[in-house]
């Protein structure tokens, strides 16, 4: 369970990006990309909606993988 709670407190098991990745569901990726694009005012594509979870190895969304300051800090401190 703990491995699916992100460093920021997000429940990765409830995240639609992780669900789309786990199910390899392109229709869900499209819906999430559209919603996140609208919410964030930036273009997010289907290809960006791939994530296995913050604390586990594997692919991450661009934000979680390299932009999230909380995750970067936690990773740098081990």
Structure pTM?
Answer: 0.87
For residue 78, the model assigns a pLDDT of 86
For residue 73, the model assigns a pLDDT of 96
| Domain extent at residue 40 | 2-77
- Return d(Cα 32, Cα 56) in angstroms, integer: 21
Domains in the chain, number: 1
pLDDT confidence bin for 18, thresholds 50/70/90: very high
Q: What mean pLDDT do residues 48-56 have? A: 96
State yes or no: pLDDT of 28 exceeds 60: yes
């Amino acid at each position: 369970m703990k491995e699916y709670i992100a460093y920021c407190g997000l429940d990765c098991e409830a995240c639609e990006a992780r669900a789309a990745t786990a199910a390899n569901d392109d229709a869900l990726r499209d819906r999430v990309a559209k919603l996140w694009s609208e919410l964030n005012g930036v273009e997010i594509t289907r290809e960006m909606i791939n994530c296995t979870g913050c604390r586990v190895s594997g692919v991450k969304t661009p934000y979680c993988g390299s932009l999230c300051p909380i995750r970067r800090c936690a990773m740098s401190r081990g």
